């Protein structure tokens, strides 16, 4: 039998159900009320990618990405402790998951923004750790694979990125994160009218690329998700 690749556990490649309700069936839904944000990783890779993100992402997108990191860490610690989240890998995935939506990328690339983002992330991270690059690219490419049709699996890293982005964008599965935690995270990384920014990015993606992966869910459905985020929108 071929030995297990240690990168699978190290970078959270573990396969979990792609369908979020199935993933959440057996988890503890109790959320810890955190009154401080998690410290950001300080490794050379983390510092390098944070510097890149600060240079390239508009501030609302950067803040969204940092909130996604915070929410993901809270969700992993409370509900998936046995997965042993790799903080550095999840941090850089969070920072780069929307890199495909920035103006110079969404207006020039014909490829769907998540796929383009995965390619960019893989290029940036390959010099550091090619297996980490694989994990992050896979998670970014799959982070909008959220429809209820079909079954199959996704990596835990990808599932966590989905849960955290859906929570910040749409307030989905809100029992996974305590209200107090959200308040502290938003105080640290204000939303800056993020809902409007995200709606504009989704609209532009669908208009420029009517073949894009976003159209699988649909622009109107995404906008409905955004407008339904009453708690998040109230903090803008």
CATH of the domain at 50: 1.10.3210.10
pLDDT tops 70 at residue 155: yes
Identify the pLDDT of residue 29. 83
Tell me what pLDDT residue 1 has. Answer: 36
Domains of the chain: total: 1
Dihedral angle computed from the Cα positions of residues 142, 147, 148 and 152, in that order, rounded to the nearest 10 degrees: -20
- DSSP summary character for residue 57: S
User: What is the value of pTM for the model shown?
Assistant: 0.95
- Residue whose entry in the numeric block shows the structure tokens 């307030």: 171
Inside any domain, residue 179: yes
Q: In the predicted model, is pLDDT for residue 150 greater than 50?
A: yes
How many angstroms separate the CA atoms of 135 and 56, rounded?
22
Q: Is residue 12 included in any domain, yes or no?
A: no
142 located within any domain:
yes
Nearest to 116 by CA among 126, 106, 129: 106
Domain contains 95: yes
- Please give the pLDDT value at position 26: 83
How does pLDDT run across 14-67, given as a tens digit for each residue? 999 999 999 999 888 889 999 999 999 999 999 999 999 999 999 999 999 999
Residues ≥6 apart with Cβ < 8 Å to 104: none
pLDDT in tens, 77-124: 999 999 999 999 999 999 999 999 999 999 889 999 999 999 999 999
The boundaries of the domain holding residue 111 are 42-234
């Amino acid at each position: 039998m071929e030995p297990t690749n240690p990168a699978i556990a190290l970078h959270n490649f573990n396969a979990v159900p792609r369908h979020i309700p199935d993933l959440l069936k057996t988890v503890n839904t109790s959320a810890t009320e955190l009154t401080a944000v998690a410290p950001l990783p300080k490794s050379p890779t983390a510092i390098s990618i944070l510097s890149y993100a600060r240079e390239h992402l508009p501030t609302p997108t950067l803040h969204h990405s940092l909130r996604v990191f915070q929410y993901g860490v809270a969700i992993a610690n409370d509900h998936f402790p046995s997965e042993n989240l790799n903080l550095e890998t999840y941090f850089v995935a969070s920072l780069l998951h929307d890199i495909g939506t920035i103006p110079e990328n969404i207006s020039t690339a014909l490829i769907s923004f998540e796929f383009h983002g995965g390619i960019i992330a893989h290029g940036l991270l390959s010099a550091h750790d090619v297996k980490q690059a694989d994990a992050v690219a896979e998670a970014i490419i799959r982070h909008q694979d959220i429809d209820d049709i079909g079954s199959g699996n996704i990596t835990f890293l990808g599932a966590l990125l989905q849960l955290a982005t859906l929570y910040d964008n749409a307030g989905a599965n809100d029992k996974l994160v305590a209200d107090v935690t959200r308040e502290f995270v938003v105080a640290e990384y204000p939303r800056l009218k993020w809902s409007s920014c995200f709606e504009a990015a989704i609209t532009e993606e669908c208009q420029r690329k009517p073949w894009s992966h976003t159209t699988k869910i649909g622009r109107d459905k995404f906008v409905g998700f955004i407008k339904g985020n009453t708690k998040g929108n109230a903090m803008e």
